[in-house]
Each structure stands twice: as C-alpha cells, then as structure tokens.
Amino acid sequence: MSEHHSTQSGPVGPSRREFLLAAGLLGVTAAASTALVGCSDSNEFAAPLQEFPQGFTWGVGTSAYQIEGAYNVAGRKPSVWDTFCRIPGKVLGDATGDVACDHYNLYPSDVALIAALGVKHYRLSIAWPRIIPGGRGKVNEQGVDFYKRLLDELEAHGITAHATLFHWDTPQALQDKYRGWESREIAGDFADYCTATVDRLGDRVKHWYTTNEIRSFVHTAYTYPGGPFDGAPPFAPGIELASEQAFWQTSHNALLAQGMGVQAVRASASRGSTVTLVEDSVTYVPLTETAEDIEATAKAFRSMSPNGGIIVPILTGEYDPIFLENLGASAPKIRAGDMEIISTPIDGFGFNTYSASYVRAAENNIGAEELPFPEGYPTYQSSWLKFAPDTVYWGVRMFTESLGRDDLKIVVTESGASQPDAIDADGEVMDTGRVMYLRETLKSAHRAIEEGYPLEGFFVWSFMDNFEWANGYVERFGITYVDFDTQKRTPKESYDWFGEVVAQNRVL
C-alpha cells in the first residue's frame, strides 16, 4: 500500500482501527464480538461487529478482455468484441480493448497490488481467442503460456485463482462460421475449449466457472423486432434476430454450452476442483417485508423474465412454467436430453449482484408486480445501477426459498459500483460513494449469513478500472484507479477500506 493509503491519523486523533486496537477490541472471538454489539453505552466508539465466518472467501475480480490488452499478440485472434469496438459509435469514445490496462504485460505488479490488499482469492477470466484463436481446432500454446505465467505469479503470492472460462469474448471465427450463439454448434466448441484449457491449466486452477452472465452476452447482445434496445443491442455482436423465438433459441444454446462446459470441466479437472457458472440473476426486493410481498418476491424471482428462462432451467431442470406460458409461441424448442445437459449438477453458484427491482404482491399470473424507479432514485454512474443494497440478502435467500436449492453454496462473484473517479490534489481518490455502496451491501450479505443462508464468499468488482464494455473507459468500477494514458495504478480509498474489511473479517 502506498503511504497516503495507510490508515490516517493526524489532527483528529487516532483512527478507529488504532482506537480499537488500543482498546483491545480487535481480534476478539465471534462469540465475544456478538456480545459487544450494542455496547455503545459503555464505549461510544465501539462499532457493531458484523463479523463474517472464519474462512469466508474475500476476493476481487476482473475479466480478460476488460484488462489484458495485447489483442494481437502471441497468436491471439479477434473476438466479437474486437470487431464490435471497431464499428463507429458502438462504444463510448470509440474505445477498444486493444490495450485496456495492459495487464498482459503488467501482471506482475498487478498481482503484487492484489496481494497487498490482503485478499487470498482472485477471479480472472481466460480468453477463448487466446487459447483457441480459431474458436475450434488448434490450441495456441503461446496463449496458454500467458495464463501459466499469471497463475504462477498468483500462486507465488499465496493467491487462489478462480477462473471463468468465458467472459463474453466469443472468437470472431465462430461468429463468421455459424453466427456464434445463434447456432447449437457452439455448445460443442465451447466444451472442447473448456477441455483444452482445463487439461493445460487444471494443475494451477481448482475453482472453475463456465459462462459469465448469459443475461449479458445473449440478452444484452441480441434483440428481436419489438424487443428491447430498439434494434441495436449495446453488447457485441449487437444483432437483431428475426423473432423473439430465435432470441430464446439463442439463449437456449448458451444454456446448453454452460451444461456441456460443466461436464467437460468435470471430466478434465483435478480431484477436489469445483465447477459452476456465474450469473447476474435478477434480484427482487420486497417493497415491504410482509408475508405477502415476500411471497411475491419469491414468485417474481422464479417466474419473471429472464430468471425463469436462465437460472430456473439450470438449477431445476425445467424452464419455469409460468415464464413459458407468458412466452407463448416464442418459447425455445427443446430437444430430448437438452434439459439433462442444461441442469448438469454444479458446485455452488456464482452470483453477480449489483442492482435490484422492488416488487409487491399483485393479481396477475405471476402474483407479483415490478415497480418502476422514480426519477431521482439513487443511481451510480451506470444508469442501470440503482442503489439497492438489500439485493444480496434477498438474492441469496431466494435460491433457497424460491428455487428450493438450499444445498447450493453461494459466492458473490461480483458486486461493486461505478463512479467518475479522479485523483485529487492530495493524490488520493476519495471514492466514498463506492465505500458506502460496499458497506451497505456487506451488511446485507451479513444478514443472509446470520439468518443461516449459505453465502460463502464475496468478490468485489473490480480490482481495477477497466474497459467497461459499451461504456468504454468512462465508467469506473475499480477499487484501484487506472490512468489509461500512463497505466499508473493508484489504490482508491475503497481499496484501503476493503483491505481493512478483509483484515478484520467484518463490516467496517
């Protein structure tokens, strides 16, 4: 950590950490700390000790195209994002991931900065177009070697890697060959890519994740006449399909790929490895915590689109019946055996959670009404990112209560907030809005654990500012500031704050 990021003291006297240390309040046992909650009468500075269980997984995350750069180096070929970025007007400022954070070259110092944060877990993604540049066929060992170097560096710093196999960088060659996700063929090619990767990196990675956010790389990348995005979806490849049915068929192909990917990873991974997917299931928060609205929340979580067509089939083996009824003739065509593949058992669930929708009970076939956000609702830099920290609690709870999957261990694989950060005159990045977002979100996560729901980890998105897809380099999600002209990294206030959270294993 740089000097100005050490805990501040100065004229206002000792920091809370120093104060608690002096008072002997740090390092107390969970039982003792519970007893301290509400002790403000005897010690007005004592914070409520919302401790996390011992062994809770704290981490930070990134993805390949968003940080690596080196787009044409060592055999890598284009992905659909390389192509999309080159269409004027598709990405803010016509930015590309050609250089991004230059992590391909700067990974040693980036890993050192992750280690300095104190986390022991790092979520990265592996680029399909680096490993199999043509999408299918020959493996590019030079591409594999980059990940070997990176993973070795992580291991040397005592950091466990969590590797996502697909974070939106579909090889352009497959887009050209059979229109990418529009074809069922991609499921087999994805599985082969998973096998090739796990065969080569499985000695270094034990925690595998197949696809990241079908909801994004299909549902925000394709549309249909009368569908969202007015014919021009914001994510690559940005295609308007002929019909809503073709859209759901494309989504079905992604579900198949994820299931076949899980099977491929399991077949090649070393003993003790885990495999699951990452999804940003839409989370609903009850308008009031009454039995009626909580029941409506459970119904919405299961039956509203797209959950009913993504996580429900993956986790239960069937598309939600009410969801299908509402889709009518646009429902995907399902071949014999598809649902078994799609619901291949997974080890836990990678839950990406940012925003939420409020619901209340209603008289419709779902039994729930989603409420619109009024003008002026607290929103982060990304217009879709509404501040609704209860989302983690309700999301985690709904896997049990709405889907009946209380066996699923859940890890928040992404949570974070965007802000237009800047370095101030003192050389600091005072991102208090992000600290507030994360603090409230962690309180909500803590509530889930306290009530016995199986939440086992939390990865902040993101370790550093990066290529934020259609928003280029304008929206910043990092806890580390990146100057994209010089590639200098500056830990933000939230980096220090999160480091303390990890060190003390509790909400601060």
Which residues are tagged catalytic?
213, 414
- What is the helix, strand, coil percentage profile of the chain, to 5? 40, 15, 45
Which among 169, 177, 186, 165 is positioned nearest to 257, based on CA atoms?
186
Closest CB to ligand NOJ among 5 and 103? 103
What sign for the dihedral angle of Cα 450, 456, 460, 463?
positive
**Which is nearer to ligand NOJ, 301 or 473 (by Cβ)?**
473
Rank residues 63 and 283 by Cβ distance to ligand NOJ and give the closer one: 63
Q: Is 477 a binder of ligand NOJ (CB under 6 A)?
A: yes
SS (H, E, C) 428-488: CCCCHHHHHHHHHHHHHHHHHHHCCCCEEEEEEECCCCCCCHHHCCCCECCCEEEECCCCE
Give the residue with the Cβ less far from ligand NOJ, 80 or 508. Answer: 80
CB 359 within 8 A of CB 300: yes
List the x/- string, 389-408, binding to ligand NOJ by CB under 6 A.
--------------------
Least distance (Å) between residue 466 CB and ligand NOJ: 7
Neighbours of 425 (CB within 10 A): 5
| Residue placing its CB nearer to ligand NOJ in the complex, 353 or 400 | 353
Nearest CA among 166, 109, 126 for reference residue 480: 109
Is the peptide bond prior to 237 cis by the omega test (within 30 degrees of 0)? yes
- Which of positions 412-431 make contact with ligand NOJ (CB under 6 A)? 414
Q: C-beta of 289: minimal distance to ligand NOJ in Å? A: 28
Of 461, 473, 481, 495, the residue at the interface with ligand NOJ (CB under 6 A) is 461
Among 96, 281, 343, 352, binds ligand NOJ (CB under 6 A): 352
Kindly tell me which of 140 and 212 has the beta carbon lying closer to ligand NOJ.
212
Looking at 57, 63, 210, 258, which residue binds ligand NOJ (CB under 6 A)? Answer: 63
Which amino acid, 102? D
> Site residues for ligand NOJ, window 178-217 (CB under 6 A)?
212-213
Contacts for 390 with CB less than 8 Å, ≥ 6 apart: 285, 356, 444
- What are the phi and psi torsion angles at 162 (to 5°)? -120, 110
The C-alpha atoms of residue 288 and residue 169 are separated, in whole angstroms, by 40
Q: Tell me, what DSSP letter sits at residue 388?
A: -
Least distance (Å) between residue 354 CB and ligand NOJ: 6
The alpha-carbon radius of gyration of the chain (Å, integer) is 22
* 197: number of Cβ within 10 Å: 26
Position 50, amino acid: Q
Closer residue to ligand NOJ, CB minimum distance, 75 or 129: 129
The binding track of 308-347 with respect to ligand NOJ, each residue x by CB under 6 A or -, is ----------------------------------------
Q: How far is the CB of 220 from ligand NOJ (least distance, A)?
A: 10
Q: How many residues bind ligand NOJ (CB under 6 A)?
A: 9
CB of 416: closest distance to ligand NOJ in angstroms? Answer: 7
Give the burial class of 39: count Cβ atoms within 10 A of its Cβ; 0-12 exposed, 13-18 middle, 19 or more buried: middle
Residues binding ligand NOJ (CB under 6 A): 63, 66, 212-213, 352, 414, 461, 468, 477
